[in-house]
Structure 1
Amino acid sequence: MHSATKTYLKKKNLIATERDSTGVEFESYQDRKVTVDDGCPVDSDGNYITYLFGNGAVALGNGSPVGHVATEFDRDKQTGGGIDYLINRKAFILHPRGIAYTGKTRTKVETPLRTELAMAENWNPVYEPKQLRIVAIKHKLG
């Protein structure tokens, strides 16, 4: 949620501070952990969008994009007695479960741009709507 949304809810005493088993404090709203991100959309009419994520809403995986070199060696022979480098790379994928990326509109081969990820025509739901674990709530403050 946006920081303005959190501030509004906190003033209404709807945000609770909880502590997990290791003593780390976190805030919650209706038993859901709160993550503040001022990148959440706000339009010119003052409408905010807050996202709710259910458990397992986003999957994490390892990718292998076209041309990806996972491990390579390099040597700088002019530094001191020479320095050897071992370079390791990983490609991580975060993906919303229940929605397939189609890539209908894409300019680059290796990865889509953020603007392309925001296009509805690049996504196709494969779960029933009630089974999707991501919800966007459009609201005003006050």
Structure 2
Amino acid sequence: MATTQLADIFVADYYGTIAPVNSPEKTAVFESGIIVKSPELDAIAQNGQGTSEISYWQDLDADEEPNISNDNPDDLGEVGKAEQGSMRARTLYLNKGYGVADLTSELANTEPMQHIRNRFGTYWTRRWQRYLLGAARGVIASNIANDAGDMVVDAGATISAGAFQDAAFTSGDAADVFSAIGVHSVVMNQMVKQDLIEYLRDSDGRIILATYLGKPVFMDDSLVYGAGRYLSVFFGQGAFGYGEGTPAVPVELERKPSGGNGGGAEVLWERKTFILQPAGFSWKGSNNQNLSPTATQYAAAANWERVFDRKQVPFAAVISGTTTP
């Protein structure tokens, strides 16, 4: 029985305009406001350099006393200065291909390639979130290693409302900047048992969002900190800057006549170029364009350095649980 292959209808330009199923814009992480799409990061992701320096103006130092005005024309007032700093952003060059043999399509009497196409968006969403949470784990680990853990509270064996409050106030009077919390499912279970979680429901009573003190809470079991310990992370508005570049060939269908031992096969390739930059931190890892870091490398303390003052960094964390002997 004949089957229509994606090769029969594939038009790369058109394919690239179709919104994938479960695109990142539909996730609770995006909707929480912790991701800011940046034209500047788009431009950097497009420049093909692998890593780039981002310059920024330091805030004016409010600890500097103002001059006291007087009537002496020769008494010159002290002049402060505006200073620039810089941080390094890492561009990620990623690709993934999924293939199907023609015989598989014929025997299945379905369109597996269409299924692959429909689920590619979900695949990238999940990979993207691994990088996001990897970066969050990395900046917290860097903070513990290099900044005396001034963004982190140790809650002991079990999470508590007090520990969450203490973590938020590690940023002092900027404690109200946090807009979302990421937790491990074990921590979420503890929060539910302690009645810390409130739920937003739709008109039919279905739960659409879990919140803590009005802030969206999302679960991910990658939020661990060693064996038996869990990492709960507070994210502020704009905690991550996001930029996208355009690969030379973003999507491509490869036809392999010799695949399937001559029965024919095709592979659908998608390529992504993007930057996911945690606010206030500079990338310290490799800048080799041919070796984009993995999500695991994004979580390494040695690959990040804080360059902003504590109050300007929209992250805080609680570590809980007990170390497994």
Q: TM-score scaled by structure 1?
A: 0.70
Question: What is the distance in 2 between the residues matched to 1:112 and 1:137?
Answer: 26
Residue 134 in structure 1 maps to residue 324 in structure 2: no
Cα deviation for residue 88 of structure 1 reads 7.0
AA aligned to 2:295 is R
Secondary structure at the aligned position of 1:40 is classed as: coil
- Given that 1:70 and 1:90 are in contact with CA atoms closer than 8 Å, whether structure 2 keeps it comes out as no
Secondary structure, in 3 states, of the residue corresponding to 2:218?
Answer: coil
Using CA pairs under 8 Å that are at least 6 residues apart, name the structure with larger relative contact order, 1 or 2. 2
Q: Which has the larger radius of gyration?
A: 2
Report the Cα offset of residue 74 of structure 1: 7.1
What is the alpha-carbon distance in structure 2 between the residues aligned to residue 43 and residue 120 of structure 1?
13
Instruction: Considering fraction of residues, name the structure with more strand.
Output: 1
Distance across 2 between alignment mates of 1:48 and 1:127: 26
Matched, 1:109 2:290: yes
| 1:14 corresponds to | 196
TM-score (norm 2): 0.34
- Residue aligned with 1:35, SS: strand
In 1: Cα distance, 2:275 partner to 2:316 partner: 21
User: Residues 100 and 70 from structure 1, CA distance in 2 versus in 1: closer, same or farther, beyond 3 angstroms?
Assistant: farther
Question: How many residue pairs are counted as aligned between the two chains?
Answer: 129
Note the residue ranges of structure 1 that are not aligned, 5 or more in a row.
79-86
CA contact (8 A) 2:250 2:272 kept: no
Letter in 2 for 1:139: S
Give how far 1:121 is off: 2.5
Hey, which of these two has a bigger chunk of helix by percent? 2
Distance 2:225 2:254 in 1: 50
Q: CA deviation at 1:32?
A: 1.3
Correspondence for 1:70 among 244, 249, 262: 249
Matching residue's letter, 2:248: V
- Per-residue CA deviation, residues 73-117 of structure 1 (Å, 9 max, x unaligned), is 7786x8xxxxxxxx874412222111111225x777340133432
Q: Distance in 2 between matches of 1:35 and 1:93?
A: 22
Residue number among 79, 89, 96 corresponding to 2:278 in the alignment: 96
Across the aligned residues of Structure 1 and Structure 2, the Cα RMSD in angstroms comes to 3.4
Mapped to 2, the partners of 1:74 and 1:136 lie a distance apart of 43
* C-alpha spacing 1:88/1:114, structure 2 compared with 1 (3 Å): closer
Q: Check 1:30–1:73 CA distance in 2 against 1; reply closer, same or farther (3 A cut).
A: closer
Identity across the alignment (%): 30
Equivalent residue number for residue 221 of structure 2: 38
